[in-house]
Amino acid sequence: MVDNVPKKSSYTTRLAENSPSTKWDNYFMSVAKAVGENSRCLSRSIGAVLVRDKSIVSVGYNGPPRGVPHCWRRNPNFERVCPRQLQGFKSGEGLHLCIAGHAERNAILNAARHGISTKGATLVCHCGVPCKDCAIEIINAGISEVVFCIIEGRPVYYDELSKWLFENSDVILRGITYESM
């Protein structure tokens, strides 16, 4: 049973208000938010920034693969609505119908596309804690830390498996309160 496995502690609280890291975190989070504005997803606009040595090495936002038409083109009469929402699914549900890659995954893939190592990098995500699939890719890509947005005063996990994966990996999760969520 999953609950019997000893857990590593991976969630740490926000740094002190005036520390230099907090300023950098807020800077990179604002960049991630701006990157997310490029998203073509009709459900959510998420951005992610991959950082090493206080330099951006890759970015990603959620959306369909390169060169693939937008998902709404599959809708009857080409209604500009998320196909999952047309079928009554809420955000985060019905993902088997979604053709979009998540921002975190796309930041990792963009780095790979350009031959940039992700090992030891920090991933800054303008969202809550990444989902299970992104968690697997983050862990396997050798990313050492994920900075995410604290939502309503607490970390919000996309799903229980992502929580378990991060708790049992060496990836450090660090939530920050980012005002512009």
Q: In what order do the strands lie in the sheet with 145-149?
A: 11-12, 172-176, 145-149, 122-125, 47-52, 55-61
* φ/ψ of residue 124, rounded to 5: -105, 120
What are the residues facing 61 on neighbouring strands?
47
Residue 69 DSSP code: P
- Bridge partners, residue 124, by sequence: 49, 147
φ, ψ for residue 27, nearest 5 deg: -65, -50
Is 36:59 a contact under the CB 8 Å cutoff? no
Residues with catalytic annotation? Answer: 104
Phi-psi region of 59 (alpha: psi -120 to 50; beta: other; left: phi over 0): beta
How remote is the C-alpha of 79 from its chain's centroid? 27
